[in-house]
């Protein structure tokens, strides 16, 4: 570990822990107001159909029903992060089973449910598009006939059912094939999976007499929800206040507007506060899950194991609306390149419309799918060439000063150290200790999303510190990490800091809980605020201590000089009397990462800012009779730049791997004919205490140039490599190469019976 500070670098308990272990912490799902109504959503029963008639007469007559809203009650707006293609309620055509058609508010949930059951819709079926292949087939029905009319990010490459084609082209793959001794081509598939947060999406909305609406929501992006609501409600953002009281997990699933608009519309129409909260069935049929994919990967390699060219295409089944698809398809191309030196690249990510739920972002969007293909193929190549998979990786990985796929210059590259340490820890030399047992490796890289952060920091009259931030504490302890940075810079204890967060009315802007950025960006904004406060505190103290500011320093809750010291409490009190209080506004925006614009097309994420590098190693056994996989050990070596709080970084690694193992071995939202077959937590199988092994974390520290104390984003990366690491270990253990996620017991048994594939 590198130099550890007084506060940073230490495993201090998170600030919000006492409230969470005593049940005092209030989450959006817990939030209630007097006189509050309960809202429910009436959803499409058809994957693709014309909505001929909607009759809410019977529903409105049910006792206790106070408001019903449908397309006729809202402005004709479409919203979406990349393509504005989604209406609040289906106006004339429904595009997936579960699409909102109307919403009801009633005095009890039972009455709201009864009203939803009493709504009648008459549909005329249209031909549905149920997977990527049929969406791309010549003459396929269009999910959106009017796709050309939608507003979209201008650089997107859209065409019919393709809502973006992102591309990276480097060098000339034809030359790369010619230089290669062998060319490998494989196809991989991955399933749609859900983030699995334990708190349903929930929102309470209330309008006041001045026409302002307040929404208490468990969104990850309160400022994005505010902006989207402004469009939907056709009022100014300043009239919309979004507050996040607390959030029970999100993992990307609570980025975009979820139920806030339903609550706000129903509250406006009924004149009462309204709460809307999703059911498990709604979560698994009509949320923002991770896209299923089809991946075609072709790689050229010399006989001594040097990669000469790679061509990759990844198709995202992004559902009925673009959602996060266009961006996710872009990020995927970065991951398909791998953390490898490859001179010739032709990589494409397609976001494809189908008549399924609108897919979104899930922890390291596109990462696990793309990495599964890349790292599975690396092992296939190694085996074919008779080169050890560790050695093949060592011959091709990126190093300090190398270029990334789009030409960005890589620095603070801790990859080789991660790879060697993970391999050592798992006992790589004995890769196949006995039949049925084997070890697998996978490596990867990931970005630390920039985006701006602002904080207000105030010294209280008792010398404690208030940190006011627009960021959301999603559970990672990122705001505890940011507070550690602040405490370090101000010379106070972590326990002296109180955090107020996520209120669009009173807290400064923050880009939100996404992209592994919160501790990184808010921490840097805290450093800026602390620098400003330090200037003010030192100037004020200098007069009293009779010595120049440059001879003073912040230490142990005082401004200290040779001639004496003044407490922060005294300085804050004086400032309250004479200067309006000791307060500073700190801001941060990550500097742009230079890249070669000529290499990309349709690409909304063309560089990985402050990238992290990581290696996963797993030791497992496979029972070919039952298909059961038993994981003995799982090791993660992750370059975190600087470990602000080692305990909670381990927590990110352990949790990210656990989620990854679910996606690898058991989780899948199963569709048949456009309908989800397993929309409950009995049949959607998330890992329990009995399924997740102990996970050993090795925190590697190659400090980055931008993050606080060199910290890099840590939340998403551990979710990237589990599918490939496990697939490679299964291949080592049993000689079975499974190229489709999830790797269920059934697939293993079938592969064993058919001799390996």
Segment (H or E) for 231: helix 222-233
Supply the minimum distance, in Å, between the C-beta of residue 694 and other proteins: 6
Among 209, 210, 682, 753, binds other proteins (CB under 8 A): 682
Of 27 and 520, nearer to other proteins (C-beta) is: 27
What secondary structure does DSSP assign to 566-585, as a single string? EEHHHHHHHHHHHTS-EEEE
Cα separation, 666 vs 412, whole angstroms: 36
CA 385 to chain centre: 37
Q: Does 247 bind other proteins (CB under 8 A)?
A: yes
Supply the minimum distance, in Å, between the C-beta of residue 25 and other proteins: 6
- Binding segment (CB under 8 A) for other proteins, from list 54-62, 339-347, 412-420, 645-653: 645-653
Q: Does 689 bind other proteins (CB under 8 A)?
A: yes
- Which residues 662-681 are close enough to bind other proteins by CB under 8 A? 680-681
In which order are the strands placed within the sheet that holds 582-588? Answer: 497-501, 465-469, 453-459, 582-588
Q: Does 16 bind other proteins (CB under 8 A)?
A: yes
Of 311 and 659, nearer to other proteins (C-beta) is: 659
Residue 417, φ and ψ in degrees, nearest 5: -65, -45
Tokens of 479: 């705001």
Half-sphere exposure of 532 (CA within 13 A, CB side): 17
> Using CB under 8 A as the criterion, what x/- string covers residues 248-287 for binding other proteins?
xxxx-------------------------x-xx-------
- Which residues 536-565 are close enough to bind other proteins by CB under 8 A? none
Supply the minimum distance, in Å, between the C-beta of residue 403 and other proteins: 35
Of 12 and 724, nearer to other proteins (C-beta) is: 12
Three-state DSSP class for residue 519: helix
∠ CA 594-598-601 to the nearest 5 degrees? Answer: 100
- Binding segment (CB under 8 A) for other proteins, from list 329-337, 586-594, 656-664, 703-711: 656-664
470 in Cβ contact with 484 (< 8 Å): no
The single residue listed with the structure tokens 């959006």 is 28
Of 20 and 675, nearer to other proteins (C-beta) is: 20
Among 1, 3, 21, 209, binds other proteins (CB under 8 A): 21
Supply the minimum distance, in Å, between the C-beta of residue 476 and other proteins: 6
Surface-to-core class of residue 149, CB atoms within 10 Å of its CB (0-12 exposed, 13-18 middle, 19+ buried): exposed
Supply the minimum distance, in Å, between the C-beta of residue 686 and other proteins: 6
Q: Does 63 bind other proteins (CB under 8 A)?
A: no
Of 35 and 756, nearer to other proteins (C-beta) is: 35
- Binding segment (CB under 8 A) for other proteins, from list 145-153, 166-174, 623-631, 685-693: 685-693
Q: Does 749 bind other proteins (CB under 8 A)?
A: no
Q: Does 18 bind other proteins (CB under 8 A)?
A: yes
Supply the minimum distance, in Å, between the C-beta of residue 252 and other proteins: 12
Supply the minimum distance, in Å, between the C-beta of residue 138 and other proteins: 42
- The helix-helix angle for 568-578 and 518-545 (nearest 10°) equals 80
Q: Does 199 bind other proteins (CB under 8 A)?
A: yes
Supply the minimum distance, in Å, between the C-beta of residue 362 and other proteins: 11
Cα separation, 310 vs 176, whole angstroms: 8
Among 46, 377, 469, 476, binds other proteins (CB under 8 A): 476
Cα separation, 387 vs 29, whole angstroms: 53
Q: Does 107 bind other proteins (CB under 8 A)?
A: no
Long-range contacts at 625-630 (CB < 8 A, ≥ 24 apart) = 625/749, 626/745, 626/749, 627/744, 627/745, 627/746, 627/747, 627/748, 627/749, 627/752, 628/745, 629/665, 629/726, 629/730, 629/743, 629/745, 629/748
- Binding segment (CB under 8 A) for other proteins, from list 23-31, 179-187, 323-331, 499-507: 23-31
Q: Does 209 bind other proteins (CB under 8 A)?
A: no
Supply the minimum distance, in Å, between the C-beta of residue 253 and other proteins: 10
Q: Which residues pair with 170 in a beta bridge?
A: 345
Among 5, 6, 10, 25, binds other proteins (CB under 8 A): 25
> Using CB under 8 A as the criterion, what x/- string covers residues 700-739 for binding other proteins?
----------------------------------------
Supply the minimum distance, in Å, between the C-beta of residue 573 and other proteins: 24
Of 29 and 590, nearer to other proteins (C-beta) is: 29
Among 53, 434, 562, 694, binds other proteins (CB under 8 A): 694
Of 140 and 681, nearer to other proteins (C-beta) is: 681
Segment (H or E) for 162: strand 162-170
The CA–CA distances, whole Å, from 374 to 313, 608, 748 equal 11, 18, 21
Count interface residues toward other proteins (CB under 8 A): 57
Of 29 and 213, nearer to other proteins (C-beta) is: 29
Supply the minimum distance, in Å, between the C-beta of residue 512 and other proteins: 16
Q: Does 477 bind other proteins (CB under 8 A)?
A: yes
Q: Does 210 bind other proteins (CB under 8 A)?
A: no
Q: Does 26 bind other proteins (CB under 8 A)?
A: yes
Nearest to 753 by CA among 621, 627, 622, 628: 627
Cβ atoms within 10 Å, residue 592: 9
Supply the minimum distance, in Å, between the C-beta of residue 667 and other proteins: 11
Q: Are strands 213-217 and 240-243 parallel, antiparallel or unpaired?
A: parallel
Supply the minimum distance, in Å, between the C-beta of residue 221 and other proteins: 16
Surface-to-core class of residue 756, CB atoms within 10 Å of its CB (0-12 exposed, 13-18 middle, 19+ buried): exposed
Supply the minimum distance, in Å, between the C-beta of residue 358 and other proteins: 21
Among 401, 672, 690, 753, binds other proteins (CB under 8 A): 690
Nearest to 357 by CA among 290, 436, 259: 290
Tokens of 2: 């590198």
Of 578 and 690, nearer to other proteins (C-beta) is: 690
Cα separation, 348 vs 500, whole angstroms: 42
Nearest to 360 by CA among 82, 107, 599: 82
Cα separation, 244 vs 376, whole angstroms: 40
Q: Does 198 bind other proteins (CB under 8 A)?
A: yes
Q: Does 456 bind other proteins (CB under 8 A)?
A: no
Among 85, 650, 668, 721, binds other proteins (CB under 8 A): 650
Tokens of 143: 């999910």
Q: Does 24 bind other proteins (CB under 8 A)?
A: yes
Among 89, 588, 648, 709, binds other proteins (CB under 8 A): 648
- Binding segment (CB under 8 A) for other proteins, from list 313-321, 601-609, 625-633, 646-654: 646-654
222 in Cβ contact with 243 (< 8 Å): yes
Cα separation, 124 vs 346, whole angstroms: 43
123: Cβ contacts below 8 Å, ≥ 6 apart:
44, 45, 46, 49, 50, 51, 52, 94
Q: Which residues contact other proteins (rule: CB under 8 A)?
A: 11, 13-14, 16-27, 29-30, 32, 195-200, 246-251, 277, 279-280, 474-477, 647-648, 650-651, 654-659, 680-682, 686, 688-690, 692, 694-695
């Amino acid at each position: 570990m590198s130099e550890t500070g007084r506060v940073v670098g230490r495993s201090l308990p998170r600030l919000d822990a006492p409230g969470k272990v005593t049940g005092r912490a209030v989450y959006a799902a817990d939030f209630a107001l007097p006189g509050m109504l309960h809202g429910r959503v009436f959803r499409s029963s058809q994957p693709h159909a014309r909505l001929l008639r909607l009759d809410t007469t019977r529903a409105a007559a049910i006792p206790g029903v106070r408001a019903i809203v449908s397309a006729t009650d809202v402005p004709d707006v479409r919203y979406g992060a990349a393509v504005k293609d989604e209406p609040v309620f289906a106006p004339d055509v429904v595009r997936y089973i579960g699409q909102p058609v109307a919403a009801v508010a009633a005095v009890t949930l039972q009455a709201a449910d009864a009203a939803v059951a009493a709504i009648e819709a008459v549909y005329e079926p249209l031909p549905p598009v149920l997977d990527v292949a049929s969406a791309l087939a010549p003459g396929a029905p269009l999910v959106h006939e009017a796709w050309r009319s939608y507003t979209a990010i201008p650089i997107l490459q859209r065409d019919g059912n393709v809502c973006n084609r992102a591309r990276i082209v480097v060098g000339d793959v034809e030359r790369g094939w010619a230089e290669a001794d062998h060319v490998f081509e494989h196809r991989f598939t991955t399933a749609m999976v859900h983030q699995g947060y334990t708190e349903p999406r929930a929102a309470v909305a209330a309008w006041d007499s001045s026409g302002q609406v307040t929404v208490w929501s468990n969104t990850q992006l309160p400022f994005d929800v505010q902006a989207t609501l402004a469009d939907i409600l056709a009022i100014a953002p300043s009239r919309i206040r979004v507050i996040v009281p607390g959030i029970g997990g999100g993992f990307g699933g609570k980025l975009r507007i979820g139920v806030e608009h339903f609550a706000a519309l129903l509250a406006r129409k009924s004149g009462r506060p309204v709460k809307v909260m999703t059911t498990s069935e709604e979560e698994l049929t009509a949320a923002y899950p991770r896209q299923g994919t089809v991946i075609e990967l072709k790689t050229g390699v010399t006989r001594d194991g040097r990669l000469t060219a790679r061509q990759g295409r990844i198709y995202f089944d992004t559902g009925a609306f673009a959602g996060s698809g266009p961006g996710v398809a872009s990020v995927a191309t970065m991951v398909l390149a791998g953390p490898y030196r490859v001179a010739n690249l032709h990589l494409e990510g397609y976001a494809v419309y189908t008549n399924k739920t609108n897919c979104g972002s899930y922890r390291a969007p596109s990462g696990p799918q793309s990495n599964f293909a890349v790292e599975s193929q690396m092992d296939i190549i190694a085996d074919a060439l008779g080169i050890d998979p560790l050695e093949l990786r060592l011959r091709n990985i990126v190093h300090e000063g190398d270029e990334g796929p789009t030409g960005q210059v890589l620095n603070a590259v801790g990859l080789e150290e991660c790879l060697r340490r993970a391999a050592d820890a798992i006992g790589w030399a004995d890769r196949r200790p006995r039949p049925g047992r084997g070890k697998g490796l996978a490596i990867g890289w990931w970005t630390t999303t920039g985006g701006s952060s602002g904080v207000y920091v105030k010294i209280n009259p008792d010398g404690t510190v208030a940190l006011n931030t627009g960021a959301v504490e999603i559970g990672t302890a990122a705001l505890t990490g940011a507070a550690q940075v602040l405490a370090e810079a101000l010379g106070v204890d972590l326990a002296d800091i109180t955090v107020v967060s996520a209120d669009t009315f009173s807290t400064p802007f923050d880009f939100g809980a996404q992209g592994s950025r919160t501790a990184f960006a808010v921490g840097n904004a805290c450093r800026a605020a602390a620098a400003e406060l330090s200037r003010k505190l030192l100037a004020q103290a200098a007069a009293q201590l009779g010595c120049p500011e440059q001879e003073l320093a912040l230490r142990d809750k005082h401004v200290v000089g040779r001639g004496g010291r003044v407490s922060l409490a005294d300085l804050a009190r004086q400032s309250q009397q004479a200067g309006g209080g000791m307060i500073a506004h700190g801001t941060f925006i990550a500097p742009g990462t230079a890249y070669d614009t000529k290499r990309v097309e349709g690409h909304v994420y063309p560089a990985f800012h402050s990238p992290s590098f990581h290696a996963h190693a797993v030791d497992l056994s496979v029972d070919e009779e039952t298909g059961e996989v038993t994981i003995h050990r799982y090791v993660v070596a992750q370059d975190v730049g600087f470990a602000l709080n080692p305990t909670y970084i381990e927590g990110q690694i352990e949790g990210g791997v656990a989620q990854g193992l679910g996606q690898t071995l058991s989780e899948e939202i199963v569709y048949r004919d456009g309908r989800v077959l397993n929309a409950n937590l009995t049949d959607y199988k998330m890992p329990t205490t009995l399924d997740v092994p102990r996970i050993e974390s090795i925190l590697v520290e190659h400090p980055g140039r931008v993050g606080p104390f060199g910290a890099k984003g840590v939340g998403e990366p551990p979710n990237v490599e589990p599918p490939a690491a496990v697939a490679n270990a299964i291949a080592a253990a049993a000689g079975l190469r499974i190229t489709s996620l999830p790797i269920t017991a059934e697939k293993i048994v079938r592969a064993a019976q058919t001799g390996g594939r």
